[in-house]
Structure 1
Amino acid sequence: MILLTLIASILIASISIYQFKREAKDYHQERLERKENAIKEHINFVLSTTTYPLTQKNLPLIFKDKIHELSDIHSLQINIYSLQGKLVKSSKASFSIDTVAPPIPKYILGLIQSSVDKRYVDVKTIDDKKYRASFSQIKDLKFKPLGILNLPYIQDDGFYERELRNFLIRLSQVYSFMLIIAFALAYFLSSYITKSLKSISLKITSTNLNQKNEKIETDDSSREVNLLIEAYNGMVDKLEESALLLAQSEREQAWREMAKQVAHEIKNPLTPMRLTVQSFERKFDANDPDIKQKIKDYSETLIQQIDTMTSVASAFSNFASMPAQQNETLNVVSVIELALEIFNEEYISFESNDPEIITIMDRTQLIRIITNLVKNAIQAIPDFQAEKRVKINVKKQDDSLLIQVSDNGTGIDASNIPRIFEPKFTTKTSGMGLGLGIIKNIIENYKGTITFESEIGKGTTFTVTLPLIKNQ
């Protein structure tokens, strides 16, 4: 809108300048023609009333006094030249110091002769002033050429320049006002349009497959913006349907994988149990003096395998269904110190900047977080390593509780980092790899986070951040 206004103002100003100059040119051309026609009529009258014979030689005598009279009447300088271009008579006052007037150039004489009306107008610019000079033949009563009439004319454009300047000033004032209005309209129109586009942009930026996306509700938008909003709302519906299908598919896939893992872990102890029973059946002898010891060994083998299957079933049960939270007000520092008492390793150290950090939380789940992380830290340190170190640090930071468990073990390989919290993923030779998955669920249920930093050969640090919940 602003660009169109500027272009319009420039075009109008350009056309106006061209029009004023054209009018000035036409005016001076017509004015010179009128002057010339009037003077020639007067000259014809003088020629018809003179007593001198109408010859080229008598032109100075015929216009001796009349040329000044004609110049005064028409307010214009008059020069009369011979047909050869030599000045014969001029209304301009002459002085003794004046030089001889230059003759008419030959090319002008040629142009006069070659033109239909035996007339030529010469236009020149000297010192930024335009001069017009008309040359036309003077004829006797029988239309025979006697001489050449020259009328010098100074083209004064002052009036038109003043009018043009005043017009451009008024035009600039009008268009300045129009530009201000255009700026205001452009601002309000763009604000009206971009207001809806900004809300749409914010909604699209915050759209995520893993969350509940809100639709856009607006009634004051243009038709095109409303079409865009309808398309976005339709996309949100489809995205929600896709998210539900994806979540269902992921759950089904996870349970299938979990079922395969559980079946595999249960089959592992069943095979030695079957072999033990078959071996005992073949070798059973009631009269064997060592029968009691063999029965005892047989029973211990079966119990050991049964315990293995029980641990598998318990781990799966703990992961599949977390027990309900039994929240209570507790001192995190004392609970963690109590949880660490089950570990006998001398290289385990505990630090806390505060003797008391009070929060509301399930005591059992907090102990499970600590024991799982500490047990993983102990297992991450090789048995042959001379210097072992596991450090637990608890501190309060703003309104959050930070628990850090560090070790100087082997570290986590870069290829395993993306899968570290996946169910059934483990780098150990025993276990189902459900421990970190379980405590991650516990921490996220409290709106917390668990992160880690690891370096091969130097160790790993797990950081748990939990919001501090106080009694209202």
Structure 2
Amino acid sequence: MNKWYQLKSYSLRQRIFMSMILLTVFSSILISLVSIFHFRYEAQKYHEERLSRKENAIKQHIEYILKNTPYKLTEENTFKIFRNKIFELSDIHGLEVNFFNLKGRLILSSNPYYYSQKKTIQLKKETLDKLESSSNQRILFIRLNRDDQNVIASYSYIKNNNFKSFAILNVPYVESNDFYNEEISNFLKRYAQVYVVMLIFSIYFSFTLSKTITKSLTQISEKIELTRLNQRNEKLALQPGDQEINALIQSYNNMVDELEESAQKLAQSEREYAWREMAKQVAHEIKNPLTPMKLTVQSFQRRFNPDDPNITKKINDYSETLIQQIDTMSAVANAFSNFASMPAQDNESLNIVKVAKIALEIFNEDYIRFISNEDEVILHFDKTQLIRIITNLVKNAIQAIPEEQKEKLVEVKLERTKTTVRLYVKDNGIGIAEDQKQLIFEPKFTTKNSGMGLGLAIIKNIVENYNGFITFESTIGIGSTFCVELPIK
């Protein structure tokens, strides 16, 4: 923080000058690092390609040996086949050659160092697993040898006439980067000479440009310094012979004329707007539960039968549904009465599958389908807000399907992953136009003749408060699918 305040203490001219110099230095360093990285990448690529060519030559030589050997091509005969040929292979191709059995134990080597060791040389299980799972049955490892040189070790299978592996060929290749290191050194020397000239030019150009930019600003800043927005402001006098400054001063003078008049209007407008938005949100949040409550009562009235043996259970179900919606309305009313924008979160462990089924009971449409890949998915969430999400999305899906459409479908699907639960609400309605998709979550935006367009905006706010997100896909004439993804804590 201290460094930041120190930077702000410099004048604008000084900051422009230092910024341009730092940009030049930074770009030069970046170019140097990229160039060094490129040289090293080219060196590594060259060594890998060279190793591949030499390895192919060794394999061709091995194939010739295998064709002319009197021994059967098996793992047990590997030592007999190559014991008189391994040093020939190494000398001709100029590389160390090692043979391992399929279990990773060293059978034969052209390096005398391995024979001076009393212990058995064994490949790591990780190496064997990677070789076995490799698509081309060849892997490369890069390591440091005793002289701190990079060694690229190639491992591949040796196969018999039946294409069955009976041994592992290891070809170590020691990188020699003397040529590339010399190239890097020469490049940096030449680049340093160019960089000195470029830095001198940058210093001159930065100084001149910063002086030109800040000259006009310095002149007008002295005039504007006495200007205050919380009091009546005096106009600035025009500067003769300076069109750019005069244009800025004239704009400021026009702003002063309008500022006093608009200040009171703006304050009044902001107060009225805040109350209108609050009233809309209250009305919308209370209206959402009222519609399903009305539908529930109507459904109960049509289906009520005192002689039904399950009448007690049905009354309890209807009552539970109404109580949930009443609780939602009560939470909204209490929150706004305390000047809160939305009800506070009252999180609890919920079976989201059960809550979704209860939320869907208020809808009488027979084309609503519910699908879940599990009977129980526990989610730490506010119950009323979860019901609000489901009922809002389902209600929007129903309203998106025209009344005259013959085949109607609203599919509610719950899907659990390792870390999240996804709620899909799919309809086969009219879809959302391309020019409306970017506005769909904006407050007060709606595609319906009724409603205030706050439902999806409120849902998005609830979901994001739980570190989740809501997305949708829609095609005109086919329908829409909304997806709410929430983390499982």
TM-score over 0.5 (shorter chain) = no
TM-score normalised by L of structure 1: 0.41
Bigger Rg over Cα: 1
TM-score normalised by L of structure 2: 0.40
